[in-house]
Amino acid sequence: MKLTRISLWHVPLTSHTAYYMAEGKTCDTVETVVVALETDTGATGWGEVCPIPHYLPAYARGVAPAVQEMAPLLLGADPVGPEALMARFDKHLQGHVYAKSALDIALWDLTGQAANLPLYALLGGRRSETMPLYHSITCVAPDEMARIAQTAYQTGMRQFQVKLGADADWQADVARLRMVRQAVGEGPLVYGDWNCGATSLDATRVGRAVADLDIMLEQPCATIEDCGRVRAATGLPMKLDENAHDTASLLAGHARGCMDAVALKLSKFGGLSATRRARDLCLHLGAKMCIEDTWGSDIATAALLHLGASTDPARVLNVCDLSGYVAPRIAPDGPTRDQGRITPPDGPGLGIRPDKDVLGPPDLVLD
């Protein structure tokens, strides 16, 4: 099999609910980048990356120039066994892991199609039939967040990420965590996420004020060192997200004792190949994993579901149905949430069919 053409689209994704986070960060309409890799056998592999610039050191319009840089290595190459080609990319162009993420997903899609197997079979074998989802709650008034949590609870959701810090009012954050916990009762997982936006002082005050509750904290501060101090001062379990993006940072989070859980997002690490290596390291380190991506629609969602389904379910904290938060759906036949859980596709490769009418004509074609 040989790669013959690269096509790329920019697609605006609009959230069903605008997301408000700490430090004025919002997520409303964000551009996602879709990549198609065509081959001489007629098979097409699909990839997607939707970098949120305030989350990753990356932006959507940076993907196409990076893909153009890597195109000479892609065209004419054999896509089967993506890690061989990814290693060549890394020698040719350092960094730019977000752009490589979309290409890596597309290469895995082609590899799965060549093997006539769903990707979970190639990423470790199927370990679970369905996986738990979390529901992310935008940072608004505490009573409104409790209402959103209760509505999601009634649909079967049992894990709730409470965005904190949008009004820089630590006492409001205490109310958010207390009211969401009360709304969903004992048992479900509730965690407060500052997206790096808190000082260690404010995060410690919030953590101590809710320390009588079953609460996890997520990425309160901008550095692993400050997150570690909050973890030590509050005694509350902690999930790392923004700070955990490669082998060194996973080891650092573990060494600081603040990585009870960690978000493994495909675009932070550089696609399925790199995130699979991170997954295997986390199995060794003992962290529970949220397997997901920064943002995106059905292609990114299908990719992360295959990695999640091939991971020991005892170590999967949750996965994310990104495509359920946004419109349009790029592949309307992709998986959707059911009673707070989700099932990966069973077809070869990613197992989804992107809708070319939704995509329209490509913005870039290289052949």
Residues carrying an active site annotation: 163, 265
For residue 240, the minimal CB distance to Mg ion (Å) is 9
Q: Pick the closer one to Mg ion by CB: 241 or 321.
A: 241
For residue 80, the minimal CB distance to Mg ion (Å) is 34
Q: Pick the closer one to Mg ion by CB: 35 or 49.
A: 49
For residue 242, the minimal CB distance to Mg ion (Å) is 7
Six-digit token string for 268 = 């932070």
**Residue burial 165-196, b: 16+ Cβ < 10 Å; e: rest:** bbeeebebbbbbbbbbbebbeeebbbbbbbbb
Q: Pick the closer one to Mg ion by CB: 109 or 193.
A: 193
The residues binding Mg ion (CB under 5 A) are 193, 241
Q: Pick the closer one to Mg ion by CB: 67 or 227.
A: 227
Smallest CA-to-CA distance from 335 within 110, 129, 163 is with 129
For residue 269, the minimal CB distance to Mg ion (Å) is 15
Q: Helix, strand or coil for residue 218?
A: strand
For residue 320, the minimal CB distance to Mg ion (Å) is 10
Provide CB contacts within 8 A for 313, sequence distance 6+: 127, 128, 131
Six-digit token string for 222 = 């901008």
Provide CB contacts within 8 A for 2, sequence distance 6+: 39, 40, 76, 77, 78
CA pair distance 326, 332, nearest whole angstrom: 12
In angstroms, how far is CA 188 from the centroid of its own chain?
21
Find the distance separating the first CA and the last CA of the chain, reported in whole Å.
Answer: 15
In angstroms, how far is CA 196 from the centroid of its own chain?
16
CA pair distance 169, 118, nearest whole angstrom: 47
Q: Pick the closer one to Mg ion by CB: 17 or 339.
A: 17
Q: Pick the closer one to Mg ion by CB: 142 or 197.
A: 197
Q: Pick the closer one to Mg ion by CB: 128 or 294.
A: 294
Cβ(326)–Cβ(17) below 8 Å: no
For residue 91, the minimal CB distance to Mg ion (Å) is 32
CA pair distance 12, 87, nearest whole angstrom: 31
Burial (CB count <10 Å: 0-12, 13-18, 19+), residue 360: exposed
For residue 332, the minimal CB distance to Mg ion (Å) is 27
Q: Which residue is nearest to Mg ion (CB)?
A: 241
Cα-only R_g, the chain: 20
Beta-sheet pairing, 26-39 with 44-49: antiparallel
Q: Which amino acid is at 184?
A: V
Six-digit token string for 155 = 């649909």
